[in-house]
Structures are given as structure tokens and as C-alpha cells.
Amino acid sequence: EIVMTQSPATLSVSPGERATLSCRASQSVSSNLAWYQQRPGQAPRLLIYGTSTRATGIPARFSGSGSGTEFTLTISSLQSEDFAVYYCQQYNNWPPASFGQGTKLEIK
Amino acid sequence: EVQLVQSGAEVKKPGESLKISCKGSGYSFTNYWIGWVRQMPGKGLEWMGIIYPSDSDTKYSSSFQGLVTMSADKSISTAYLQWSSLKASDTAMYYCARSVGYCSDGVCSIFNFWGQGTLVTVSS
């Protein structure tokens, strides 16, 4: 089973600034990497798949990059609604299509 | 509009059985995989498995194989997750979700539409 490790566990950033979240896979997942956002009390929302393809309706301030074992989610200018927990998920070698443990993005 | 509507919260005792549901609408239910994701209190997301409602093909995570059963009734566009004997450690929020697309395109195990979640509490 592929283990996904996200860092940092918590990231404190001011509104309007850039946030960079990291995700590392225990072995190569090619470009088969997705990102989700989960706000408190809500279901997760797909942001990005295929490492860098934004899902329908996702603002352009969200971008993804990387390949192999190292991936990054960047939020270019943080809005109030962006403060949430973010999960990466690999779907190259499954089942299971494993999730990372999450990064909590909080207001600085 | 694609919607997944899950059944309501459940409170059960250890050893009891349970079946929760997820009804899809606004799309062709038999053309997309339905997945189940567990979220224990205060914890992250865990991928449990997926089912293809057209033929009930299922793919389980080894962590959940034999512990839960996924099924689907395509005649009423509903997927199910069931337990035969609940444990306190099954206490969690369970989400159903629809796949982005087909396994042949490599995107059947990621999800772009989600249900609201069903909270299952198992306590004596």
C-alpha cells in the first residue's frame, strides 16, 4: 500500500498571501494525484486531479504541480473561504487509493 | 444537478447490524462508480472501496475487506454500505461519493460529487 505523507500538519498564513502545501508518496504515483478541500462540517470537495487539472468550478488561484513522489498544492492569494483542511490522494496503485493525513490551513 | 443523498444518522450497540444508503440522482447511476470514505472523529479520510452499480463489481481496500459489504440496487439508484456486527471502532462519519469517470481512464477511484455523510455511532 502506498503511504501518502503531507506537510506541514498545520500551516498558518495571512489572507491574501500564498500558501504552499506538500504531499509525498512512499513510491512513485506518476501524475495520478488529487487534492481535496474539506471545510468544517462539510464533505470533501475535489480541487485538482491528474496533479494539475482543476476540477469543474475550482478557481484559478488553486494550482497543483509535481510528479513521481513529490507534489505541491499552491493557493496563490488566500481568501477567507480557503481556510480548511486539505488532503492529497494517490490513485496510481490501488486499492486503496490512499489519502494523506491532511494539512490544516489556518488564519495567521 | 448531480446529487448523492445519504440516509440519516444511526446510533447502534456493539454487535448489531447496520445498512446505510446513498441515493444518486441527476446522472446515469449505472455509468459511474460509487465509493465509500470513512472519517473517524477528528481524523482524516480513509478510502474504503468502490462499487460499479451496473454489475456490482466491487474493489475493497484490504483494511476494510471482510469487515463491510458494499452493494447497489440500480433499479432505485441506491448504493449501500453494511456491517453484520458493529464495533465501537466503527464510530465515524461515512461518505459516499461518485467517481470522476471510468477505470479505463484511470479516474474511477477519485470522487467529484459527495453525499452529505452519515454519522454512525456505536456505543453500549
Q: How far is CA A48 from the centre of its chain?
A: 8
Contact A107, A11 (CB under 8 A): no
Contacts of A57 (CB under 8 A, 6+ apart): none
Backbone φ and ψ for B109, nearest 5 degrees, come out as: -105, 10
pLDDT digits (tens, 9 = 90+) for A15-60: 999 999 999 999 999 999 999 999 999 999 999 999 999 999 999 9
pLDDT above 90 covers a percentage of chain A that reads 100
On whether any CB of chain B is under 8 Å from the CB of A58, the answer is no
Cα–Cα distance for residue pair A23/A8, rounded to 1 Å: 9
| Unique residue bearing C-alpha cell 441506491 | B78
Cβ of A44 and B110 within 8 Å? no
Contacts of A87 (CB under 8 A, 6+ apart): A6, A35, A36, A38, A44, A99, A100, A102, A103, B44, B45
Closest-CA residue to B114 (of B36, B51, B18, B60): B36
Hey, is the C-beta of A99 within 8 angstroms of any chain B C-beta?
yes
- Asked whether the beta carbons of residue B45 and residue A95 sit closer than 8 angstroms, the reply is no
Other C-beta atoms within 10 Å of B2: how many?
Answer: 12
Q: Please give the Cα distance from B105 to B64 (Å, whole number).
A: 25
Helix/strand/coil for A82: helix
Q: How many CB atoms lie within 10 A of CB B1?
A: 6
Question: Which of B47, B60, B61, B113 is best to mutate for the A interface (most A CBs within 10 A)?
Answer: B47
What's residue B105's pLDDT? 83
The average pLDDT across B91-110 equals: 93
Q: What is the C-alpha to C-alpha distance for residues B81 and B94, in angstroms, rounded to an integer?
A: 9
What single DSSP character describes residue A99? B
Chain B interface, mutation test: which of A2, A6, A39, A46, most B Cβ atoms within 10 Å? A46
Per-residue pLDDT at B106: 84
Q: How far apart, in whole angstroms, are the C-alpha atoms of residue B22 and residue B17?
A: 17
